[in-house]
Amino acid sequence: MMSSREGPTASAPPKITITPLPSSLPSPIPTSTITLTISGHPTTVIAQSFVDRIFITVTQLSKFGCLYQASTAPNPSSTLLDSDPSATDSILPPPLPTTSITKLVGTEPSPSHTALYQLYVAQIASIVTSTASKQDARPLVVSLALKPTASAQLGVKDAVVRNDDDDEVDSLMSSEEERKRYMGVMDAVKQCRVW
């Protein structure tokens, strides 16, 4: 008779060997990340280039927020797309009228943020389109998770008192604090180019 010490046991775990990839290989998903302080809030922008789409996350809340998809059809009359990308480093390309934005999932912090978030997505799509190759027609998926600004919160309270949604949108879109954040986010997106 064979003792349990002499033969193979059924309870022995299989041996697993892990072979790390050499560091000389490129990342399987081209990714660029930047974290900086915008309007006093740590802001992280992550850009990833997939075969079928580009994914950009902008977060001040350390999580994903509302997810949008933006598709931009080529605009043959646009001279901006034919210009030198380095010439537009200091200015933002205008949002393109051929951009279609669809919310995929999520809810904005307030109804007035809907227009603001769509403006962010349209501008990010314009940055990507103006700096990508002409053959690159991949859609863009954008995740936005932005902290409400102090001026936006005041505008919401004032608009609620007056029962005026238009004033809430106007104060949010025209505040100096929001303009600074907007420009800071767009500069960060430009720095995270992976497309």
Asked if residue 142 lies in contact with residue 101, where contact means CB atoms within 8 angstroms, the answer is no
CA neighbor of 171 nearest in space, from 109, 94, 116? 116
Structural domain including 61 reads 31-191
**Inside any domain, residue 98:** yes
DSSP state of 87: G
> In DSSP terms, which residues pair with 103 in a beta bridge?
68
Asked if residue 168 lies in contact with residue 4, where contact means CB atoms within 8 angstroms, the answer is no
- In degrees and rounded to multiples of 5, residue 42 shows phi and psi of -60, 130
- The string of pLDDT tens digits covering residues 111-152 is 889 999 999 999 999 999 999 998 899 999 999 999 988 765
In the structure, what pLDDT confidence band is assigned to residue 75 with cuts at 50, 70 and 90? low
Query: What pLDDT sits at residue 163?
Result: 56
**Inside any domain, residue 82:** yes
Helices 165-174 + 176-191 axis angle, to 10: 50
**Inside any domain, residue 4:** no
Q: What one-letter code names the amino acid at 58?
A: V
Q: Is 102 helix (H, G, I), strand (E, B) or coil?
A: strand
Residue 23 CB burial class (10 angstroms; 0-12, 13-18, ≥19): exposed
- The string of pLDDT tens digits covering residues 101-120 is 999 999 998 888 999 999 99
Query: What pLDDT sits at residue 161?
Result: 55
Cα 6 from Cα 27, distance rounded (Å): 47
Query: What pLDDT sits at residue 169?
Result: 63
Per the structure, the count of domains in the chain is 1
**Inside any domain, residue 15:** no
CATH code for position 125: 3.30.230.90
Whether the pLDDT of residue 8 is over 80: the answer is: no
State the pTM of this model: 0.75
Q: Is 127 helix (H, G, I), strand (E, B) or coil?
A: helix
- Rounded to a whole number of angstroms, the CA Rg of the chain reads 23
**Inside any domain, residue 13:** no
**Inside any domain, residue 14:** no
Mean pLDDT of the chain: 84
**Inside any domain, residue 105:** yes
**Inside any domain, residue 152:** yes
Cα 152 from Cα 112, distance rounded (Å): 9
